[in-house]
Structure 1
């Protein structure tokens, strides 16, 4: 039309009443669009669809049933597919069960629900539509019936070669053999020797694989099992301990020999003891050895002692110190100086006696055969007349004449004769005789000595005083002491500032060389003249007038002026001076003097007392 337009609509559309636009036609509202089942409208068209289980026919309008069993033969895996209108159902085989919608077959797990016939010792394994039975480890069979597998017999076990295999129901157990340690699968040797130090007593333990063995000490033998040592009873052997009795002891044996026999070097037999080799056998007699014993033959005048082990001279007689041969044809003796009465010859001749008996007979010479028979113990000893055991001779009791006038003290094998003061023993006469003390030089010093019985008396010159009971003279004179003496003109100097006795001046250590006025030279040390004055040949010592012993001179006490202004310290045989600060020692005057320095100043010393 002129001045207007109108629409010509496509298929599936229709024009509006004014024909100016096109709108969709809903074909489904008109006889369901011709669809047999479901019509679905769309813009400018529509579509037919079928229910589940049906398929659209080529006319795109009608529906036909789908045969799922034909399209998917395996849709009912484990069952038979049966098609029905619009769907299908599964009829399941044995071992399967249908799902709730009957569309699938589900495998039944017989193992899980217990719907199997596997043996107790078997393992159930589920399979598609069924199950499988397998005998467990250690068992053998078809799974329905299982019997125990003996791994130890068929060699399928894993035990260590040093272990024992023990079969158990369905399994086996490994245990290490004795002598090994471990879990049975791994076994290591046990060192029994290291773990138990008490093994193989009386032997040495040797470790071997799985055990140990004993290496036995001498005198022991290994037991049949090799693991212990047992004592060998040597007493069962022949020719053991001849002349004795065998006693078995662990590891060895002991022969207890009969009296008169002793073990030989092997220790296995007893041999005769030669008692005669022992010098104490058959003392003073002649010994003859016999098997297992001996015979003691005694010399003349001797007889066998009660126990038969020696010979003794049991005679008694007087003992004499001096003998003299008469010189006539009788060869008899004159014996004198009787020192014992009624004593045995051994007591006399084994001491200091020279003759014995009545008539008197000379004692045998020292070291002669007769002396050795009589005195087997040597001088000072004799055989006991009963036991023949050598014993000490008590000279003081049996031979009192050996210490006449003194005190006899018996000692082992000898004796001691102590004479009173002023007496000395005469070794020839055995008498304590007066000592002439006056024969000792200087015993009275400057005095005259007169001997008395057991003592002496000193007659002292003027200015001397008798001391020590008249046994010494003390010079009481005091005079000047000089440090120096000159031989060429008999003069002296170095006069000390104090007066002392000649003995203190001349005998003290480093004091004087001359004494008195006019000066008298002091005697030279180590001379007889010095010893007469001082009692000693060394300066610094003097004779103690009371004991007669040499003693130290205490110069600090006896000579008060020494070490003036200082400290005097006495030493054995000498002395020394210590001067205070500001003083020096004057070895000429033996005093401490104030020190004067080169400028003429005098050092002043102050003594402070600290309480």
Structure 2
């Protein structure tokens, strides 16, 4: 006997289906099969091809065996590494070929086995009982396709996303090399796509391809003092009128036009910031047209002279004088009056009265002035006070009255004479006195005959019908009003309503009219044309005047409309309209109900599909097909889907993800110095002399003096982005570009150029002979060689210390020997070497 056990390490889950096969074939003895549990609570399902016996409970020792017939399934649970023997029962060895009849019931291939048979499927299909169903290879590891797997009937196909080429395996298409990007300036290829970039001074347009000029002037990038002019890819500064651009090309400096003689001022020039203005001396005014020339101020015409009377203008000045009757005051501006009455009474006959600038003559009462003389006043020529007439007399006057008046005792007023007191003024009816006369008047109904005192009758009916509404009859001194037949009244006439007095004989409705009436029938009836009083029924259905859309039913005096099934009567009770099932609970439709003539149809909104009940709607998962067309992430939503991008990308055209250039939006990401864009992200970079802080955005100054004193011999002064070496009092910095050593002032130095010794103390010099010069020269050569060796060793030691400190600090450091840009802080190699030689000698 032998057995076969499936290896545990090939299983991926704790639940399996075991297929055990005999290794010895059929024999007259039962075969044993060993099943091993791969993990705790492993669920085991067996489907034997021949009947077998298994323990009823593999977990219970001594459990009874049960029979599992061929083709039936049996489930049990094993623990990790627990074994179970299955015994195959003895059976008849005569095999039946089930495939000979109806292909064994298999839909594809039937394979006969000893004691049984198997249904097999063509490639690309899998068995479901005896049927074969198509395998969707794309569901298992995407069919082995790197990108897009499309299932086909019995097979599948691999393809690539947009921006890639290939089939099973996909390679990126370099759109930039193929000149297919359409980028205006720079094309940068990415995996599966590309993006466009622009040169300095340009920015990428919203189309992602075109580069547009950055207007440094409007965006505040340019720091022009006054005028900024944008150029393609750059800009330049300019100045307003009256300014000139300084050498730095940014700051504008004022032009002093008064010094450059560009002012054209006739008299005085005053410079201002950006301009100038001209001024004139006292008595002159600036010409507003030229703003440069001066003209005389006419103080007299402008009223600014202060002269009381007469002003006489002169060039740059003026003088005052007075009219006749005035004289000039000591202030030479104001005028005072001359009193002419003090001289011979001013020539007046009666009274002289002095006035301001002149004098006036006047007369006594009853006289009027004539030049200087006085003559009698004619009171009647003025307002004498007489009511009617005035008669002048010498020194006085007399009043009189018009006809019909008499003079009152006051001698001025006139009173009316009442003519009616004498024989009624001769009037036929009435006499009415008036002021200065009288009038005759007649009684009502009469009028004067041509303004004579006699009175005649007035025909009132000839004027506006006497005020009567209908008929007017004149009488002697009066008139009478009356009405036409069918009316009642006198002056005003009122219609008689025959419909109320029942004098109309109308069968149904009586309608009164002005002065008469007529009969009318109710709706649904018609008036008898013979009697004009009786009514008969109208059959609206027969006369086709009902207006019914469908069916018409006549009734006495009326009718009614009705509709066939599937329609209902409209609110006008005549037309038939379709019953809109969609108005009642939307016709049962989940989304859209569309009414049809006599029925309705359900449909779904975009993003949904109608289910089998033709009413409910199910969401379409657009992301299942080619990721919804999304470039990166597709999220299905109810009735739609949305594309989104990974961090550092922005969505374009709703599906395409392009890199988001954070550096173009520094106000959001706030790199304190330089920003470098990367695919899907960005990084902040600092200028030399700075290091990036822990926030990865802020740049901080590197304190070079904190490490080895910045390489300075004595004093190191840190600066923002730099540092500076100086010396203590009594020392000066060597003129050396590689060291920052200090030397004492006034000590001897050795010149490399001429190989001779100069002594600079006490203004004395020593003569050295030729032999001594040879010795000194040899000593100098030795000293120079020694000093060079010492200097090299020191430099290497400092470099090593500086390199170690850089590694320990993990911060950027810069060689201090090549850092400072200030001329006075740099030293020359020559003096550094000489200083080392001097130290060696001493």
**Same fold by TM-score, threshold 0.5 exceeded?**
no
Which structure is higher in RCO with an 8 Å CA cutoff and minimum separation 6?
Answer: 1
TM-score by length of 1: 0.31
TM-score normalised according to structure 2 size: 0.24
Judging by fraction of residues, say which structure has more helix: 2
